[in-house]
């Protein structure tokens, strides 16, 4: 990574993402999949237009976001208007143009934004593990999180709640310090749930994150041990 973010290169990547095309996910509710939009509506000349209605409207959308990209003056701005499912993918493609600070801060923002970070289809678990290992912890945690991390014992008990759907997702990055939160995750869809307890050495914890109030521990899943299912 660079000492200073190359914003021009990042804008080039953003333009490529803009032109990648879109997919209609739910026609009834007008939900689409695109790096810049979740719904097919944008403001134009004091009204809202639907970009699915015509090629002209689609081209207006392209011009609208090209203008936005041109005006970006710091990398953090991209995290505001790129849709959540695409943030980690965008980070993957801009990684080589970022300062370590921008990379770290965007990594944790993207992780939090993604509903299923451990199983992102575009960024593998192995890649994510390597990303977190590259970043100094001060770029991943705020002051309160750093304080919690610094007070952890050398060996930490962590928990993970899973349902039938993801019951095999044990060796993953995301665990929690909070047993009750793990139990909540195990039943959050009204499904049969399972809670696991494991141990991790503090030196193998990559970061602590509580911005979703989950007391989340992001760790090197290869270093987990004494994993057991709780009754």
Mean pLDDT taken over the chain? 95
64 and 56 Cβ atoms separated by less than 8 Å: no
The answer to whether residue 168 scores a pLDDT higher than 80 is: no
The answer to whether residue 167 scores a pLDDT higher than 80 is: no
Residue 223's pLDDT band, with cuts at 50, 70 and 90, is very high
3 Cα distance to chain centroid: 23
* CATH number of the structural domain 143-230: 3.20.170
Give me the pLDDT at residue 42, please. 96
pLDDT in tens, 37-72: 999 999 999 999 999 999 999 999 999 999 999 999
Give me the pLDDT at residue 107, please. 97
117 and 174 Cβ atoms separated by less than 8 Å: yes
> pLDDT exceeding 90 applies to what percent of the chain?
88
Ramachandran angles phi, psi of 81, nearest 5°? -110, -5
Give me the pLDDT at residue 99, please. 97
Question: What's 6-26 look like in SS3?
Answer: CHHHHHHHHHHHHCCCCEEEE
What does the block give as tokens for 221?
Answer: 């899943």
Is the C-alpha dihedral spanning 44, 50, 53, 54 positive or negative? positive
Domain ranges of the chain: 7-138, 143-230
Specify the 3-state DSSP secondary structure of 163: strand
Give me the pLDDT at residue 108, please. 97
Give me the pLDDT at residue 164, please. 82
pLDDT in tens, 11-43: 999 999 999 989 999 989 999 999 999 999 999
The answer to whether residue 74 scores a pLDDT higher than 90 is: yes
Quick one: which H or E segment has residue 109?
A: helix 100-113
Residue 88's pLDDT band, with cuts at 50, 70 and 90, is very high
CB neighbour list of residue 220: distance below 8 Å, 6 or more residues apart: 129, 133, 173, 200, 204, 205, 206
């Amino acid at each position: 990574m660079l000492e200073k973010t190359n914003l021009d290169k990042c804008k080039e990547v953003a333009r490529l993402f803009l032109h990648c095309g879109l997919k209609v996910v739910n026609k009834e509710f007008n939900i689409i999949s695109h790096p810049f939009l979740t719904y097919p509506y944008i403001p134009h000349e004091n009204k809202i237009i639907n970009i699915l209605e015509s090629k002209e409207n689609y081209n207006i959308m392209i011009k609208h976001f090209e203008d936005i990209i041109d005006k970006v003056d710091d990398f953090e701005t991209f995290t505001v208007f790129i849709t959540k499912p695409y943030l980690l993918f965008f980070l993957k493609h801009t990684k080589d143009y970022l300062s370590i600070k921008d990379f770290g801060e965007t990594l944790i923002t993207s992780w939090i934004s993604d509903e299923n970070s451990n199983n992102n289809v575009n960024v593998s678990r192995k890649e994510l593990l390597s990303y977190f290992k590259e970043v100094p912890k001060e770029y991943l945690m705020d002051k309160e999180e750093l304080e919690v991390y610094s007070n952890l014992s050398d060996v930490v008990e962590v928990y993970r709640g899973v349902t039938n759907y993801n019951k095999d997702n044990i060796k993953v990055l995301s665990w929690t310090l909070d047993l009750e939160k793990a139990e909540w995750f195990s039943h959050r869809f009204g499904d049969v749930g399972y809670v696991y307890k494991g141990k991790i050495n503090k030196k193998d914890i990559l970061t602590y994150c509580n911005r979703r109030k989950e007391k989340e521990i992001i760790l090197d899943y290869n270093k987990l041990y004494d994993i057991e299912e709780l009754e």
